[in-house]
Structures are given as structure tokens and as C-alpha cells.
């Protein structure tokens, strides 16, 4: 039974009928129903930005691509989450990420529990058709507990958002343009000298790759823990 006044929208996804509430995105509905749409920048608990473009789905009829994480289904929409075009695009996006910075997994703290690595495996990325760019970035190990290796960063912005939206510190932001874009601490101060960082480590645990890590942890120990996030997000919204 529907509560009167709640607008529930019905639509189809890959030919099957689904319904969604006002709040739900295409990605929410897909995940609820076991349809796999890969994402890298999305994280439950922080605002979607649709920037990694991996979760793009096609709207039948228009050929238009929209990010599933930030698009709410409309009544009667016909959504395609998987076809050869989308599969090729997703692979290409992952290949572009691998071509951009240094992702030699064997020497990375996140080897084995890295989201970029696992998305690549799931999508069957077994070679990269683009030239490696690998600009060289410095490592910032100035913080007593954590370190940042920009060479592993995929600029998903999760650390920036969690710091601003959940911790409320807005310690992190970005600088530069194009592939020189990088995550900075405050006005580009060494992390260890940051007057705003509370040392909470939320950024480290939401980071999908080996870019943000705890110091002195072996590869096996550096698994990311982020089950706290939806809970904290709910508490910040005033929930119990």
C-alpha cells in the first residue's frame, strides 16, 4: 500500500519494471535489486557529484548518458544499465585512470583491497590502450599517523567531501587544472602542519585507492573501514 501523497515513480530498467521513491536515484534502485553498476566516486553518506562517470547509464530513445548516482528516475523512463557501448565506455574510463598516474599494484599499500583494482578486474580491463602519462607527484608524509601518495590518487573527491560534509573541517580541496589537479591540505600546507585537520582519518578510510593510507600498516592491515559513514551522515541530519 502506498502512503497517500508519496510520489512513487515507475519506470523500466533493462526491460524490467521498477519503482522508486522521490529520494531514490537510479543507482539506489539498481543496488536494491542486485543490478551491478560500477562506481568510484560515489559513497553512501556523502553527496553524489557524478564525476568519475563510471556509473553512466543510457536513457533509451534519446541515447543520452546520465550518471546513475545522481539521477532520479522519472516516470516512464526506460533505462539501460548495460550494453556494449556502456561496457566499452566503462572500460575506457578505467583504462584512462590507469594511464593517468602510477598504478603498479604490486608495490601499493592497497594491493588486494583497492576499489580501482577491483573495478578493473570486474570490468575485464586486461590492457590499457592509452599511453602512460604518470606525472610525478611528491609524497606527503608529514602527518604523524597518515600519508598521502598523489601518484595513486584518482581525484574521486571522496576525501574532500567527507572532510567537509561529515567532519565539517574542510581541510581538503583541490588545486591546479587538468592532469596536474591534486588534492591539497588547507592552502597547500604539509598535512602534518594543518591547523584545521582533526586527525580523524575519515578521508583515509573513504579513499578508494592507496592514495591515503595509515602509516606503518602492512598491506594486509590497510583495509579501509567505512561502515561508520551512513551512520554519521544520518546523525548529522539529526536522525537517531
What 3-state DSSP class applies to 44? coil
Minimum Å distance from CB 104 to ligand SF4? 6
* Residue whose C-alpha cell reads 537510479 in the numeric block: 26
Binders in 18-77 for another protein, by CB under 8 A:
48-53, 56, 65, 67, 70
Query: Residue 38's binding partner, choosing from ligand SF4, another protein, none, with beta-carbon cut-off 5 to 8 A by kind?
Result: none
Asked if 185 interacts with ligand SF4 (CB under 6 A), we say no
* Residue whose C-alpha cell reads 497517500 in the numeric block: 4
* Residue whose C-alpha cell reads 585512470 in the numeric block: 97
Contact string (CB under 6 A) for ligand SF4, positions 93-132, x = contact: ----------xxx--x-xx--x-xx---------------
When binding is defined by CB under 6 A, the residue of 39, 157, 167, 184 that contacts ligand SF4 is 157
Query: Residue 138's binding partner, choosing from another protein, ligand SF4, none, with beta-carbon cut-off 5 to 8 A by kind?
Result: none
Contact string (CB under 6 A) for ligand SF4, positions 127-156, x = contact: -------------------------xxxxx
Could you give the CA distance from residue 104 to residue 110 in angstroms, rounded to a whole number? 11
When binding is defined by CB under 6 A, the residue of 43, 46, 169, 207 that contacts ligand SF4 is 207
Termini Cα distance of the chain: 26
Nearer to another protein, 34 or 178 (CB): 178
- For 132, phi and psi rounded to 5 degrees? -75, 135
Could you give the CA distance from residue 38 to residue 72 in angstroms, rounded to a whole number? 17
Q: Could you give the count of Cα atoms lying within 13 Å of 93 in the half-sphere of its Cβ?
A: 21
Is-contact 79 11, C-beta < 8 A? yes
Binding site for ligand SF4 (CB under 6 A): 103-105, 108, 110-111, 114, 116-117, 152-159, 183, 206-212
Amino acid at each position: 500500500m502506498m502512503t497517500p501523497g508519496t510520489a512513487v515513480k515507475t519506470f523500466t530498467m533493462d526491460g524490467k519494471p521498477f519503482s522508486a521513491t522521490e529520494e531514490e536515484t537510479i543507482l539506489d534502485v539498481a543496488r536494491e535489486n542486485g543490478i551491478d553498476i560500477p562506481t568510484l566516486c560515489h559513497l553512501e553518506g556523502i553527496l553524489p557529484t557524478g564525476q568519475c562517470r563510471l556509473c553512466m547509464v543510457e536513457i533509451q530513445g534519446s541515447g543520452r548518458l546520465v550518471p546513475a548516482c545522481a539521477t532520479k528516475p522519472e516516470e516512464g523512463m526506460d533505462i539501460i544499465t548495460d550494453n556494449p557501448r556502456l561496457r566499452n565506455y566503462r572500460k575506457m574510463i578505467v583504462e584512462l585512470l590507469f594511464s593517468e598516474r602510477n598504478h603498479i599494484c604490486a608495490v601499493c599499500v592497497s594491493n588486494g583491497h583497492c576499489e580501482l583494482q577491483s573495478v578493473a578486474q570486474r570490468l575485464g580491463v586486461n590492457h590499457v590502450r592509452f599511453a602512460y602519462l604518470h606525472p610525478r607527484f611528491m609524497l606527503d608524509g608529514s602527518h604523524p599517523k597518515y600519508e598521502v601518495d598523489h601518484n595513486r590518487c584518482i581525484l574521486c573527491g571522496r576525501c574532500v567531501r567527507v572532510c567537509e560534509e561529515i567532519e565539517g573541517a574542510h581541510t581538503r580541496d583541490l588545486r591546479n587544472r587538468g592532469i596536474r589537479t591534486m588534492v591539497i591540505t588547507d592552502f597547500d600546507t604539509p598535512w602534518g602542519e594543518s591547523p584545521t585537520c582533526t586527525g580523524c582519518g575519515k578521508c583515509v578510510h573513504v579513499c578508494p585507492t592507496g592514495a591515503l593510507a595509515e602509516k606503518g600498516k602492512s598491506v594486509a592491515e590497510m583495509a579501509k573501514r567505512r561502515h561508520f559513514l551512513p551512520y554519521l551522515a544520518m546523525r548529522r541530519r539529526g536522525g537517531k
